[in-house]
Chains A and B, each alone.
Chain A
Amino acid sequence: MTYKPEWAVSVSPHIRKGTTTAQIMWTVSATLMPALILSIYNFGFRSLFITLVSVLSCVVVEAICQKVMGRPVSIKDGSAVLTGILLAFVIPPGVPYYLPIIGAVAAMFITKELMGGLGYNVWNPALVGRAFLQASFPVAITTAWIPPQQLAKGVWDVFLSPGSVDAISTATPLSVVKQFGMTALTQQFGGLDSIYWNFFIGFKPGCIGETSALLILLGGLFLLMRGIITWHIPVSTLVSAALVAWIFGGENWFSGNPLVHVLSGGLMLGAFYMATDYVTSPTLKSAQILFGFGVGGLTVLIRLKGGYPEGVCYAILLMNCLTPALDEWFKPRRFAPPKAAPVAAVK
């Protein structure tokens, strides 16, 4: 006999807080829009088109994977859209249009769906996409920069070209520092005050969404206020990056310029939007602080001592590897546990 209840029955609780996974994803995506608008102003409509291609590819790749794997298609939860935006934000604006498509396959198929879908991936999908592109297209990913304020200067024609926009290649501040040192940076980008100001606002060559510390900071503060992220990872990341830059960044010890490092490259975007990814970062606050210190420290270490001018992507991916271990080592403090520990805990 099957008994069909007249009314819904389920295990308690019967009321839920309003926030949903989809709301979180869409909110985070929305806070990235100011940075995208500045990017269009800086690098022209190519920024927008690359971002659109990236978002569309991520959504389509995820939907196809889910269909093939017999999982429910979860486009509405917004996580693929967010990954698409973040993937576009960490590649240069001048890359060919097929690059974000390849990146999307690496991000959504290999990193996310093959690992089990949302919640089960070990690495940040957008950053694996970026790392995959860096390994496969090392030239495009490290040279396809566009000098800032193109739209403002009325430069229109090159932004729709299908290939790399190498005609107007420039160099990012970090690669200038890497190849020619700090003196060259001040020669090329003006005095330190002008560097701080332009880097803070976002007028510098760089990846699509990473240039403006100010807009990322505002977006991050909004997420902090809404309780979507907490301060632990961003603050520890920035503090440790500044510390390592100060200690090892100069000619002598303790003579580096921490501010240039904090405002350069993808550190701000990484600290507020990449390292804070719930799935790939540790859950407990104490573990998050350690995680952030690792990200910041490794980033500047790679920048100063490694082969690449920029290290945020690899720093976060390396720390992602450590997340399961951090989750295992750091457990919440229990309220009044049993006096004699259960057998399983001793084992």
Chain B
Amino acid sequence: MAGTTFAKGGIHPEEHKELTEGLAIEVMPPPRQVVLPLSMHFGAIAQPIVKKKQEIQEGEVIAVVEKALGASIHSSVTGVVKAIEPRPHPTMVRCDAVIIDRDPAAPPRQYESEDWRKLSREQLLARVKEAGIVGLGGAGFPTHVKLSPPPNAKVDTLVLNGAECEPYLTTDHRLMLEYPEKIIEGAKILLKILGIKKCLIGIELNKTDAINIVNKTAGQSADKDDGEVHVQGMQVKYPQGSEKQLIYSLTKRSVPGGGLPFDVGVIVQNISTTLAVFEAATMKKPLYEKVATFSGRALNRQANLQVKVGTLLSDVVEYLGGTKDLVKIVSGGPMMGFAISSLDVPVTKTTSGVLFLNSSETDLGEYGPCIHCGWCMEACPMGLAPKEVGLYVEAGKGHLTEKFGIFDCFECGCCAYVCPAKRPLVQFARLAKIAIKKRG
């Protein structure tokens, strides 16, 4: 199988997936306390509906978004609300959070399974909304909104993103290996909600075991009433899992700048999200547990862990035996993840992994002047000119960079990755966007 790929650019970073790809998902014992930030999704910050000292059951709603775009938040443990106060947040620095002390005596909540085929698409969509599911690839866009495209959009294809093109991360890989039936069922639930018949699962060719098992499962459970689910192998190239690149790779359709996937008739969902949809639809289980890769060579033991949302990284690090020579902590993958400055940050719904990098894995050196090698322009999957944007920003003229198509830049980091002068080209791109918006 040759594998499909996107139109231009892209890079081949070292994968580092060997650290965790062979490790089965391990359930981490629940921590003494969880910190649940009120913003774990794209949209408005949720409003708490619980009070201090209130007793809370596992899976109970603790915060909601009433009118605006957003998603409900559920308690991940049974216990007592200790406080509602600002706490460190992986991307927002600080954010109000509900802190819950776990009752060590409380047994884990059990869920009963039922046949989703008996439910209508409205009932299924309501369950997705009630479960507080958001896009788990990183952006955290509320899934029930994404599954309700405007009526004029002619969606015909559901794309499941199994590319997992970020180095180190093996979460989706393990989920596909260990729960292929749930993912295929989840895909069929999504097809039913969308009222369409075609689903493509794109998986990079470095995960042939996942391709084989998902393909086999899809074949065995094929039922023409459910629609078709196809698995498609894709070349191992970053950023294969980026929405526009993925859609092009699988369908050869190009989402225009400023457009959304449904403009070309596609809805994209992440593998983890699909699993969460399955659990919500069949068991009414809310999203409060997350499988994430904890990797990086500074960690004494790497693992794919199923953790409670709200578990502090300090608890995870303790569970994994501590760190040595730790220089940088990254929430997410090394290409697009956020560096975090404190272990008091909790695992959120959108945490796909946390990397603990040592001094040999990450480079903290200075950057030099642009030598115009043009490697950034070859690497850019959107066909932009990162070096020019960088020079404009350095000269204080970031507001003039719109002509380079700066708003098409989704900050994949290919340009900065290849730059021999180690220039912070993603930072320059962000500064350029800010400069343009300021001049508005």
Contact = CB atoms under 8 A, between A and B. Distances in A.
B8 A335 contact: yes
Given A9-B340, A15-B335, A283 B374 contact: yes
Given A283-B387, A338-B258, A14 B334 contact: yes
Contacts of B54: none
A339 B355 CA distance: 38
B209 interface: no
Given A331-B385, A333-B383, A334-B382, A13 B421 contact: no
Contacts of B319: none
Interface stretch (B37-45, B249-257, B268-276): B249-257
Interface stretch (B21-29, B125-133, B149-157, B397-405): B397-405
Interface in B394-434: 400, 402-403, 405, 407-408, 411, 413, 416-422, 424, 426-427, 430
A108 to B, nearest CB: 15
Interface residues of A, number: 43
Contacts of B327: 7-8
A117 B371 CA distance: 10
Most chain-A Cβ atoms within 10 A of its Cβ — which of B257, B334, B377? B257
A183 interface: no
B370 interface: yes
B14 A15 contact: yes
Contact of B371 (A6, A15, A119, A338): A119
Interface in B207-228: none
A10 B408 CA distance: 22
B401 to A, nearest CB: 9
Nearest to A331: B385
A81 to B, nearest CB: 15
B369 A119 contact: yes
Contacts of A154: none
Contacts of A77: 368
Interface string A335-347: 1111100111100
B372 interface: yes
B420 A118 contact: no
Interface in A13-34: 13-17, 19-21, 23-24
Contact of A336 (B11, B254, B357, B418): B254
B361 interface: yes
B357 A16 contact: no
B362 interface: yes
B361 to A, nearest CB: 7
B383 A11 contact: no
Given A278-B371, A345-B402, A334 B383 contact: yes
A140 B389 CA distance: 45
Contact of B355 (A14, A21, A284, A342): A14
Chain A CB within 10 A, most for which of B7, B326, B380, B419? B419
Describe B's contact surface by its main secondary structure: loop
Interface string B1-27: 000001111010110000000000000
Nearest to B339: A9
A11 B244 CA distance: 22
A3 B340 CA distance: 13
Contact of A16 (B255, B258, B407, B422): B422
A243 B369 CA distance: 38
**Which one of B326, B334, B384, B403 has the highest number of Cβ atoms from chain A below 10 Å of its Cβ?**
B403
A307 interface: no
A65 to B, nearest CB: 15
Contacts of A117: 369
Contacts of B14: 15
B339 A8 contact: yes
A20 B336 CA distance: 21
A15 B417 contact: yes
Contact of B381 (A11, A24, A333, A335): A335
A12 B383 contact: no
11 contacts: A5-B342, A11-B339, A11-B427, A12-B416, A14-B355, A15-B417, A16-B417, A16-B422, A279-B372, A334-B257, A338-B259
